[in-house]
Amino acid sequence: MIKGIFPLEKFKTLQTPFYYYDIDLLKKTLDIVKAESEKYNYHIHYAVKANANSRLLSIIAAYGFGADCVSGGEVQAALDAGFPSNKVVFAGVGKADWEINLGLDNDIFCFNVESAVELDIINELAAAKGKVASVALRINPEVDAHTHAKITTGMKENKFGINLSLLHGVLDKFSVLKNVKLIGVHFHIGSQITDMSSFQDLAIRLNDLQDKLEARGIIVENLNFGGGLGIDYYHPNHLAIPAFENYFSVFHRLLKLRPGQQVHFEPGRSIVGQCGSLISKVLYVKEGETKKFAVMDAGFTELIRPAMYDAYHRIENISSDGELEVYDVVGPICESSDVFGKDVELNKAHRGDLLAFRSAGAYGEVMASQYNCRQLPKAFFSDSL
C-alpha cells in the first residue's frame, strides 16, 4: 500500500479520523504466515490484543488459525469471529473467575498459567464443573528481547509468568491438583523484536529447560513461544510483510524436539500492523515562533503509541504534492504528550489535507479511548469502500 493507492476521493466523503485497512495486504501476509508455518507443522494462534476488529478477526479465523487471548472479552470475541475453541489459548496474569469459567465452559485448548496461585484457582473452578483444565506454564526464560522496556515481558522483574527459580515448586503441585493437566510450556519475551538473536537465545534456553524437565520425568506435549516478531515502521511501503521465513527457521534449526512435540506461536503485530493506517484531517497549520504545527483532528485517543511508547509512525500527506516542509504533527487532546511526531517532513500542508499515519494496524484502533469525551474512530476496508 503506497501513497498513490489510497482512495483519496472516497476518503474525502468519510468523517475523520478513521482507520483504513488494506485487506489485500492482510491476506498476502496471512498467506505467507500459513505457508511458512506449515513447512514445519507449526501452530499459529493470532494474538487478539493486537487488533480485535471483528472483520479482521473473521478473515484471520478463516485461515484456520487459532487465537491467543488475554481476557475473557477476547476469548468471546475470538469465538464470535469463528475461531474454534480447541485452538484458543488464554494467557494473562490476572484472570478473573468469570473469565476462567468462560474458558472452561467452552473447552478451550489451554490456559497459559502465570503463577502458582492461579493454578490453584483454575483447579478449584474446574473441579466445581467436573472438568480437567489443560494448562501450560508461562515461564520467564530470562532472555533479553532488546526492545522497549514497556513491552519487555520475559525477565524476572516483569509481572508476567513464573520465574525459573520457582518453576520446580509449581511443578510439584500437579501431583496433588487433580483438575489441571500440564500439557505445555509457554514463553513470551516481548514485543516488536527485530533482532533474531533474541529468538535464538529463547530456543537455546528452551533446550536447556527441556533437559531439566526430562530429568524429572516430564516431557510436555506443546511448546509455545508466544509472539514478538516486529515490523518495519520506517519502510511500510517497501517492507510491508515481516520476515516470517527467517523467524520460523530460527526455531526449526535450533530446537531439539522430543517425538510428538507440537510447536506454537502467537503472532499479532506482525500479521496486522502494516495493513492498517489512521487517516486524519489537518485542522490548522499553526505558525509558531520556532515551530510550524500541523494540528490534526486525531489525537492519542485514536493512536496512543507515540505518547505511550515514544513510538514512530511514518506520516504521509496524501492530499499534497507540494514541497517538503517540516512540522510538529500534533493532536487536539488537552495534554502536552499529544504529539505524533516532531520535525516531520511532509509535503506542504493545508487546512483540510488528509494525513495517513502508517503501520497502525496493531495497537491502534484496539487501544483507542474516549478521553475528552471523544468518539471512538470508525473502521473502513479497502474491499468495501
Domain ranges of the chain: 3-18+274-381, 23-273
Calpha distance 378→278 (Å, rounded): 10
pLDDT of residue 142: 78
State the pLDDT at residue 141.
87
Q: Which helix H or strand E contains 3, and what residues bound it? A: none
The pLDDT of residue 4? 61
Give the pLDDT confidence score for residue 227 in this predicted structure.
96
- Residue spans of the chain under pLDDT 50: 1-2, 148, 150-151, 153-155
| Cis-peptide, bond into residue 306, ω within 30° of zero | no
**Among candidate residues 362, 187, 359, the one with its CA nearest the CA of residue 269:** 362
Give the per-residue pLDDT at 49: 98
Residue partners of 159: CB distance under 8 A and separation at least 6: 93
Superfamily of domain 3-18+274-381: Lyase, Ornithine Decarboxylase; Chain A, domain 1 (2.40.37.10)
Which top CATH class is 23-273?
alpha beta
- The pLDDT of residue 1 is 40
Closest CA to 87 of 228, 200, 199, 224: 224
